[in-house]
Amino acid sequence: MVRTGTSLESVTSPGSDAAKPSPEARNFHPNRWILLAPEIFKHQGGISRVSRHYLQVVSELSDPVPLDLIVLNDADAPKTELARYGATNARLHLCNRSKWACWKAVWRATQKPGAHVVCTQVYLSPLLWIARKLDRSLSYEILLHGVEVWKPLSCSLRLALGGARNVFSVSRYTKDYVGARYPKIGDKITVLPNALDPQFAARLLHKSDEPHESTTILAVSRMAAHDQKKGIDHLIEAMPAIRRAIPAACLRIVGDGADRARLEELARRSEAAASISFLGAVDDACLQEEIQACRVFALPSAKEGFGLVYLEAMAAGRPCIVAQAGGAPEVIDEHSGIPVPYGDVTALANATVQALTKIWNPERIKARAQHFSYAAFAERWRQLVLHSA
């Protein structure tokens, strides 16, 4: 089933049961907040960005209640970054990829009764199920991103999800996928879409758009060897047809990883090789410049649980080409992008030509991005966590 145009508003509308507390709702006041994440500052990937949003929303509630930040993979947390997300008073447990250190940190942080843990990766949640067996006053919530639960769940993950106070999914697609296989878990899941990073997007949202004559297609993706369904290869394969329709069209690809060599070889063999550029990993400032300079953003991936990068492109008024797969079609609407069947190179080429030649309304695209504002996300999260039964 393809779902296009689901927004934060559509899952929090006044007529939605999930949008308001149940009759038995009560205020929730933990004695300690704990954020448990796989990584926050080490990389710039989607889970890291989302974890930073949860760090900010928890930090806004934690004072004067203590806040512990437990991060499996990070070895450093710059003070400037902690300040950026309001977490300068957080007690840090940076585990530098040590699972044993992570478990010890969870154990120590949950020793005092009444703690609540915000877990941003389901694979860390079995630690919390064990901890709650030892202290029933402990509660926790789990965030589901997508691909990590689009497969059979182990017994330990099912137990952890079953014991959670809240389970949030970033998309309706993932909620429905898990619910179809594990109905009892599905009944606990609430859709809470990811948020547009306000600090990343501030320049893009408020920059005026001059007449845009670019014919540049921008793609941004990690290039992991185990993650070859991002659609970058399909974009490369579509470029000859795109160039026949629009000779000046070019494809710029941001990102790095072990699969980059394969993709570069595919590009070298293409008749459109001269129009394809690999930029490698870039910082946020450079990424903002690339987004602003492109005409169309394209990531026809089969593995996007949500796709924060689409929001970042939309914040600049750029339309997005997405695959009819996963949670990506829920991000765009008819005014901000075009969905195409995953793996259909001809359809991808046609949609990209259409997007390059269509007169889009940048303000409508930016308005769509604002449906997923951080302020709306934070208010929705507070309502669900602090006032649920």
Distance of CA 130 to the CA centre of its chain: 28
Residue 144 within any structural domain of the chain: yes
Residues of the chain below pLDDT 50: 1-4, 6-25, 211
State residue 207's pLDDT score.
59
Residues 152 and 272 in one domain: no
Question: What is the pLDDT at residue 177?
Answer: 97
CA distance 321 to 337: 6
Do the domain assignments include residue 354?
yes
**C-alpha distances in angstroms, 376 versus 9, 101, 169, 275?**
8, 35, 16, 40
pLDDT of residue 211: 45
Q: Say whether both 273 and 322 belong to one domain.
A: yes
If asked whether residues 228 and 350 sit together in one domain, one would say yes
**CB-based contact 314:195 (threshold 8 Å):** no
According to the model, what pLDDT value does residue 244 have?
98
Q: Is 347:210 a contact under the CB 8 Å cutoff?
A: no
Cα 267 to Cα 240, 262, 283, 294, 299, distances in angstroms: 11, 9, 24, 19, 16
Bridge partner residues of 67 (DSSP): 33
Q: What is the pLDDT of residue 369?
A: 93
Per-residue model confidence (pLDDT) at position 45 = 77
Q: What does residue 104 show for φ and ψ, rounded to 5 degrees?
A: -60, -40
What is the predicted pLDDT for the residue at 280?
95
d(CA 287, CA 241): 27
Q: What is the pLDDT of residue 12?
A: 40
Tell me which DSSP letter residue 327 carries: T
- Do residues 225 and 293 share a domain? yes
For residues 320 and 215, state if they share a domain.
yes
Secondary structure of the chain: what % helix, strand, coil (to 5)?
Answer: 45, 15, 40
Instruction: Tell me the DSSP string of 166-203.
Output: EEEESSHHHHHHHHHH-HHHHTTEEE----B-HHHHHH
CB neighbour class for 143 (10 Å; exposed up to 12, middle 13-18, buried from 19): buried
For residues 76 and 113, membership in a common domain is answered with yes
Residues 325 and 291 in one domain: yes
Can you list the alpha helix ranges (DSSP code H) found in the chain? 46-62, 79-84, 99-109, 125-134, 155-162, 172-181, 183-186, 198-206, 232-245, 260-268, 284-293, 308-314, 345-357, 362-370, 374-386
Domain count for the chain:
2
In a domain, 3, yes or no: no
pLDDT given at position 9? 40
On whether both 202 and 314 belong to a single domain, the answer is: yes
Query: Does 14 reside within a domain?
Result: yes
Q: Do 224 and 345 share a structural domain? A: yes
Q: Is residue 4 part of a domain?
A: no
pLDDT at 65: 87
Coil, strand or helix at 129: helix
* Structural domain includes residue 167: yes
CATH number at residue 257: 3.40.50.2000
SS (H, E, C) 359-372: CCCHHHHHHHHHCC
Could you tell me if 240 and 270 are in contact, meaning their C-beta atoms sit under 8 angstroms apart?
yes
pTM: 0.88
134 plus 212 within the same structural domain:
no
| Any domain includes 227 | yes
Strand, helix or coil for residue 323? strand
Instruction: Please give the pLDDT value at position 157.
Output: 98
Domain range enclosing 380: 9-195+374-386
Instruction: Look at residue 352 and tell me if it is in a domain.
Output: yes
Q: In this structure, are 49 and 169 located in the same domain?
A: yes
Residues 163 and 230 in one domain: no
